Amino acid sequence: MVAITSPAFKANAKAALADPQLQKALNHVRAGFIAKRAAAVDALPEFDALRDSARDIKNHTLANLDLYLEAYEEKVTETGGHVHYAETAGEARDLILSICQKAGARTVTKGKSMVAEEIELNEHLEAAGIEAVETDLGEYIIQLRHEPPSHIIAPAVHLTQGQIEADFRRVHTHLDPKRDLSEARELLAEARGILRQRFLEADVGITGANFLIAETGTSVIVTNEGNGDLTQILPRVHIVLASIEKVVPTLEDVSQILRVLARSATGQEMSTYTTFSTGPRRRDDPDGPDEYHVVILDNGRSDMLGSQFQDMLRCIRCAACMNHCPVYQEVGGHAYGWVYPGPMGAVLTPQLIGIDKAGNLPNASTFCGRCEAVCPMRIPLPNMMRHWREREFERHLQPVTYRTGLGVWAFLARRPRLYQFAMGIAMRVLGNLGHRRGRFRALPLAGGWTKYRDLPAPAGKTFQEQWKEKQRALAGRET
Amino acid sequence: MSARDTVLGKIRRSLRVTAEEPGRNATVDARLKRAPKGVIPARGQLDSAGKVGLFTAQAEKAAATVTRVADITAIPLAVAEYLRAHNLPAALRMGEDALLNGLPWQKTQIEVSHGASEGRDAVGLSHATAGVAETGTLMLTSGVDNPTTLNFLPATHIVVVEAGAIAGDFETVWANLRKRYGKGVMPRTVNMISGPSRSGDIEQKLQLGAHGPRDLHVIIVG
């Protein structure tokens, strides 16, 4: 069970800032992703035109989502696959469990899927006696640690190599203590060896989907390791778990979005494997699954359509927003307290678990706008965080002191004369008090600021007073 | 009410639509039928020599190795040389692909076995449907001729692609697939492969050879 700790974001963030291992690991986010993306974007002159194209494709699809889902479903059924709809996380879990049970499954392998994290699928399968094995290296590592992912494409990015080596030694008890695991490639080889056997034994393979194609009834996964492919071609049953907004119209439309996906995510021109799966194995096929199921999950997304959050449904989960976020870079993904971290999480999480629990997340932003600037789907993330802040205020969810402060400010801001009068006094008082040193080391009600840096003392006059004086002086000179 | 009806109903309520608007239905049908192309990067729009050159450079950038032979009869020797140079056993597994099956393997020492992989083969050999110059990507389609398991289970994957099958962009390959399989029909699996498998999950250090092949070798013919 992934406990929701989003309400404790502030405490989580504080702990994260004081965690030296985490801070060391987060350096790889700060250093790696940003430069790689920039190089890939610079190498493709059409990148921004492709972003526009990708945005328009998704907007068109979302406006006709019901029809595209029906078209997709018809094609899947034509090719011998099965489409199941789930309104809630619970329904999706039960559907998947029942497919696994019908298949007599004892173990299932899993490709990386954020939607599976969202519905807590592994826990549900394990409770029914079915072992779920994560096969993406990062997911495998965090499964050993019983942790949720801290990043949507690099789930173990919060860990150092030393921590991973310690986990392998703890769990892989067959390991000779003398065996050298000090290199990343040794750790990868060890995981590859263990997981190869699991791939071949599994009864059911479960993957997510980056896209569902309405034209052909195809599910698409994009990976680098090849684990998703082994998950979906080796077992007898393949289950695809995807949310409603993954559908796109045609192969051409997918190609547009693929051109911005990997570049925004890892800075690759293409991920190593982009795989298109259509239905179960055909009559003469020597490999592939006998059964092909797609579980399409809503879980609150349909409520975002037609609302000020509809644009969020364009998200393709590339993680560029969190890689470029100054808050994510400092606190990492776990501080956000649920499945989706960073700016995209700050917008999506309140929808999925409630603004009452996730209210801190849209506030965990400096509104620097980098997330929107790099988003391949041009999602206005800061604007949507603002919408959540408004809803949070409307529903009286912030602490009394915060609301009172905002109330006082709003009262003054709506009365310009009173505002100028009050500010005039405040600036004179502060200006006099800070006259000698020019700055304050501590100030009542401003502890959050002065704890980390001095507050410069005001000039003794408000900006408006100074402006008026300057204008008067100028006018005097001209006449 | 089924979950399907509930979900589709919620979507329609939120969008303030019914399923009956003729305009919406016509727009969707037209897009599915016409499959309009969007922005095609200029970099792949080259003559055939240019496309082969760009494909090679891009595949190598993705950590594949590439060699070129004059005609198909030279393939077995090129494979044998690669295996020797990489200290690999003289054995490989492939499907029933007509082009690969018709080659004079008996002129080499290579022991050829056929069929899907069960994970015991060091080397898999496949014949790609197409290549895409834009990104150095191979396109492989499933079937008895080229089983999908050969793309992933062997540690070394050797892929033959004809120079004439290297397209400038993805869209050209989709158009060709439609001609071959029919509109709206796909082979069971289409694999786009760009380089050997890799992972950056440990401290963002790129490691080649994750769960798929460690080495991807491309032989361009013609």
Task: For residue B205, give the CATH number of its domain.
Answer: 3.40.50.10420
- What percent of chain B is predicted at pLDDT more than 90? 98
A42 touches chain B (CB under 8 A): no
Report the candidate in A2, A8, A86 with the shortest Cα–Cα distance to residue A357.
A8
How many Å lie between the alpha carbon of A278 and the closest alpha carbon of chain B? 5
Between the CA of residue B45 and those of A48, A259, B131, B194, what are the distances in Å? 19, 16, 14, 19
pLDDT-derived band at A195 (thresholds 50, 70, 90) equals very high
Dump the DSSP string for A47-100: HHHHHHHHHHHHHHHHHTHHHHHHHHHHHHHHTT-EEEEESSHHHHHHHHHHHH
pLDDT tens-digit profile of A64-74? 999 999 999 99
Question: Kindly report the CA angle at A189 between A185 and A194, in degrees rounded to 5?
Answer: 150
Which SS3 state, helix, strand or coil, does residue B208 take?
Answer: strand
B96, B202, B208, B215: best mutation site toward chain A, by most A Cβ within 10 Å? B202
B96, B181, B201, B205: best mutation site toward chain A, by most A Cβ within 10 Å? B201
CB contact under 8 A, B31 and A60: yes
Rounded distance, CA B87 to CA A44, Å?
38
Q: What is the pLDDT of residue A2?
A: 64
| HSE value, Cβ hemisphere, 13 Å, CA-based, for A75 | 25
CB contact under 8 A, A137 and B62: no
CB contact under 8 A, B152 and A233: yes
A458: DSSP letter: P
How many Å lie between the alpha carbon of A463 and the closest alpha carbon of chain B? 47
Dihedral angle of Cα A467, A469, A473, A479, to the nearest 10 degrees: 90
A336: DSSP letter: G
Show Cβ contacts of residue A253 under 8 Å, excluding neighbours closer than 6 positions.
A57, A61, A213, B35, B38
Cβ–Cβ under 8 Å, residues A297 and A244: yes
Considering the domain architecture, whether residues B191 and B216 belong to the same structural domain is answered as yes
CB contact under 8 A, B184 and A281: no
CB contact under 8 A, A91 and B3: yes
Rounded distance, CA B160 to CA B79, Å?
10
Q: Which fold has domain A6-303?
A: Rossmann fold (3.40.50)
A46 touches chain B (CB under 8 A): yes
Q: How many domains does chain B have?
A: 2
Burial of residue B22 (CB within 10 Å: 0-12, 13-18, 19+) is exposed
Q: What is the pLDDT of residue A479?
A: 60
Arithmetic mean of pLDDT over chain A: 94
Rounded distance, CA A65 to CA A58, Å?
10
Rounded distance, CA A355 to CA B176, Å?
49
| A62-76 exposure pattern, b = at least 16 Cβ within 10 A, e = fewer | bbbbbbbbbbbbebb
Show Cβ contacts of residue A239 under 8 Å, excluding neighbours closer than 6 positions.
A96, A99, A100, A204, A205, A206, A207, A293, A294, A295
Question: Kindly report the CA angle at A454 between A452 and A459, in degrees rounded to 5?
Answer: 150
Domain boundary assignment for chain A? 6-303, 401-478
Q: What residues of A are in contact with residue B207 (Cβ under 8 Å)?
A: 184-185, 188
pLDDT-derived band at A1 (thresholds 50, 70, 90) equals very low
Task: Provide the sign of the torsion angle of the four alpha carbons B113, B115, B118, B119, taken in this order.
Answer: positive
In the chain, the amino acid numbered A14 is K
| For range A289-293, the mean pLDDT | 98
Alpha helices, DSSP H, located in A156-201: 161-171, 184-201
- Portion 32-61 of B in contact with A at CB < 8 A: 32, 35-43, 58, 61
Q: How many residue contacts between A and B have a Cβ separation below 8 Å?
A: 273
Of B118, B192, B201, the CB nearest to A137: B201
Length of chain B (residues): 222
Report the candidate in A421, A416, A419, A426 with the shortest Cα–Cα distance to residue A457.
A426
Rounded distance, CA A318 to CA A392, Å?
28
Show Cβ contacts of residue A408 under 8 Å, excluding neighbours closer than 6 positions.
none
Arithmetic mean of pLDDT over chain B: 97
Strand order in the sheet with B137-141: A247-248, A211-213, A218-223, A273-277, B189-193, B137-141, B130-132, B166-167
B155 touches chain A (CB under 8 A): no
Of A66, A164, A286, the CB nearest to B116: A286
- Which helix (H) or strand (E) segment holds residue A298: the answer is none
Between the CA of residue A465 and those of A143, A408, A432, A462, B218, what are the distances in Å? 61, 22, 16, 5, 74
How many Å lie between the alpha carbon of B68 and the closest alpha carbon of chain A? 22
- Portion 156-195 of B in contact with A at CB < 8 A: 169-171, 174, 184-195
pLDDT tens-digit profile of A30-54? 888 999 999 999 999 999 999 999 9
Rounded distance, CA A454 to CA A307, Å?
42
Considering the domain architecture, whether residues B76 and B2 belong to the same structural domain is answered as no
A183, A233, A278, A281: best mutation site toward chain B, by most B Cβ within 10 Å? A233
B108-113, Cβ contacts within 8 angstroms, sequence gap of 24 or more: B108/B76, B108/B77, B108/B79, B108/B80, B109/B80, B110/B76, B110/B79, B110/B80, B110/B83
Dump the DSSP string for A224-272: SSSHHHHHHHSSSEEEEEEEGGGEES-HHHHHHHHHHHHHHHTS-SS-S
CB contact under 8 A, A244 and B195: no
Q: What residues of A are in contact with residue B199 (Cβ under 8 Å)?
A: 137-138, 188, 224-225
A50 touches chain B (CB under 8 A): yes
Rounded distance, CA A320 to CA A327, Å?
13
Q: Strand B137-141 and strand B189-193: pairing?
A: antiparallel
Dump the DSSP string for A337-396: -SS--HHHHHHHHHHHH-HHHHTTGGGS-----HHHHH-TT---HHHHHHHHHHHHHHTT
| For range A255-275, the mean pLDDT | 98
- Portion 171-210 of A in contact with B at CB < 8 A: 184-185, 187-189, 192, 195-196, 199-200
Dihedral angle of Cα A196, A200, A202, A205, to the nearest 10 degrees: 80
Considering the domain architecture, whether residues B27 and B100 belong to the same structural domain is answered as no
B177, B206, B211: best mutation site toward chain A, by most A Cβ within 10 Å? B211
Considering the domain architecture, whether residues B27 and B114 belong to the same structural domain is answered as no
| For range A143-165, the mean pLDDT | 95
CB contact under 8 A, B28 and A64: yes
pLDDT tens-digit profile of B89-145? 999 999 999 999 999 999 999 999 999 999 999 999 999 999 999 999 999 999 999
For residue B26, the enclosing domain spans 1-34
A73-79, Cβ contacts within 8 angstroms, sequence gap of 24 or more: A73/A217, A74/A217, A75/A214, A75/A215, A75/A216, A75/A217, A75/A218, A75/B184, A76/A217, A76/A279, A76/A292, A76/A294, A77/A217, A78/A217, A79/A217, A79/A278, A79/A279, A79/A280, A79/A292
Considering the domain architecture, whether residues B20 and B125 belong to the same structural domain is answered as no
pLDDT tens-digit profile of B161-193? 999 999 999 999 999 999 999 999 999 999 999
Question: Kindly report the CA angle at B83 between B81 and B88, in degrees rounded to 5?
Answer: 150
| For range A390-394, the mean pLDDT | 89
Q: What residues of B are in contact with residue A85 (Cβ under 8 Å)?
A: 2-4, 6-8
A139: DSSP letter: H
Cβ–Cβ under 8 Å, residues A112 and A228: yes
Rounded distance, CA B161 to CA B69, Å?
10
Cβ–Cβ under 8 Å, residues A53 and B37: no
- Which helix (H) or strand (E) segment holds residue B158: the answer is strand B156-162
Which SS3 state, helix, strand or coil, does residue B199 take?
Answer: strand
Angle, helices A463-478/A416-433, rounded to nearest 10 degrees? 100
Query: How much helix, strand and coil, in percent to the nearest 5, is found in chain A?
Result: 55, 10, 35
Cβ–Cβ under 8 Å, residues A111 and A228: yes
Cβ–Cβ under 8 Å, residues A478 and A471: no
Q: Name the residue in chain A with its Cα closest to that of B64.
A: A272
At residue A399, does pLDDT exceed 60? yes
ipTM: 0.98
